[in-house]
Amino acid sequence: MFLIAPVQRPSPMPSNSTSKLMIAAADALRSGVGAIDFSEHVSWVYNPLDYAWEAHQQYLRKYARGTRRVLFLGMNPGPWGMTQTGVPFGEIEAVRNWLRIDAPIAKPAKEHPKRLIEGLDCVRSEVSGRRLWGLFAQRFDSAKAFMGEHFVANYCPLVFMEESARNITPDKLPASLRQPLEAVCDQHLAQLISILQPQWIIGVGAFAEKCARRVIAANAILNVQAGRILHPSPASPAANKDWSGTAGRQLEELGIW
């Protein structure tokens, strides 16, 4: 188990040190999940931390600079978001024009013909990412202003698909795969908490909140609270009725905004 000392809010480390630690943690995460053999139960697995590594590093160098009061945590990449861009909830327009990420995106070694990786040239829009980053853009003048106190990450970096290309979420994996995956991802989340020293972890949806609470409890982390906002997926009827208004109110009720 990766144990963390109680968060004492020391003087912030230099911003470039934070980025280096975050990149090292992401590198360990991509190696850790890459060592798990999913082939017996999952037809297709993409790891954006491999083929979109340059873009992910650029995201961390630009925005993982110093400690953060709030860490927003998603589940895993969507097909038209981080899967394409290497950025959590990485809707193309937001990544290109708000976050200003422009690193080249390669392709996975094994590419599903129905889920081609087109990077920033992808014409599809990740609705969840558009809603989430759109909420932040409504409230903050720039990505830099938002990232002054906030950061966005995913719990799991992998994309799982059936032979038909239908998405498989991590919670639907068999226990024989879910348990080793959770061990690696829990350790990475513990590292993020240690590096960023957030006061809050906000799960974007119930699954991410559950993961955050598990890691906080398992490592006896003090002074870090967990909460959640409604997931912005269009698959949720509630999310299709003024999601930004609902999520904004939830953050206000938690005292975060």
Instruction: Assign residue 66 the CATH number of its domain.
Output: 3.40.470.10
Match 């961390």 to its residue by tokens: 60
In a domain, residue 207? The reply is: no
In a domain, residue 67? The reply is: yes
Percent of the chain with pLDDT over 90: 93
How many CB atoms lie under 10 A from the CB of residue 207?
20
Q: How far apart are CA 115 and CA 107, in angstroms?
A: 11
pLDDT of residue 222: 85
Task: Look up residue 8 and give its DSSP letter.
Answer: -
Q: How far apart are CA 179 and CA 173, in angstroms?
A: 9
> Does pLDDT of 6 surpass 60?
no
Tell me the pLDDT tens digit for each residue of 19-37: 999 999 999 999 999 999 9
In a domain, residue 148? The reply is: yes
> Does pLDDT of 15 surpass 90?
no
Q: Which of 174, 230, 179 is nearest to 203 (CA)?
A: 230
Counting the structural domains of the chain, the total is 1
In a domain, residue 133? The reply is: yes
CB 66 within 8 A of CB 186: no
Tell me the pLDDT tens digit for each residue of 107-153: 999 999 999 999 999 999 999 999 999 999 999 999 999 999 999 99
In a domain, residue 104? The reply is: yes
How many CA atoms lie less than 13 Å away from 36 in the CB half-sphere?
A: 25
pTM of the shown model: 0.93
> Does pLDDT of 1 surpass 60?
no
Q: Which of 75, 164, 79 is nearest to 113 (CA)?
A: 164
In a domain, residue 31? The reply is: no
In a domain, residue 11? The reply is: no
In a domain, residue 14? The reply is: no
Domain around 62: 39-199
Tell me the pLDDT tens digit for each residue of 65-81: 999 999 999 999 999 99
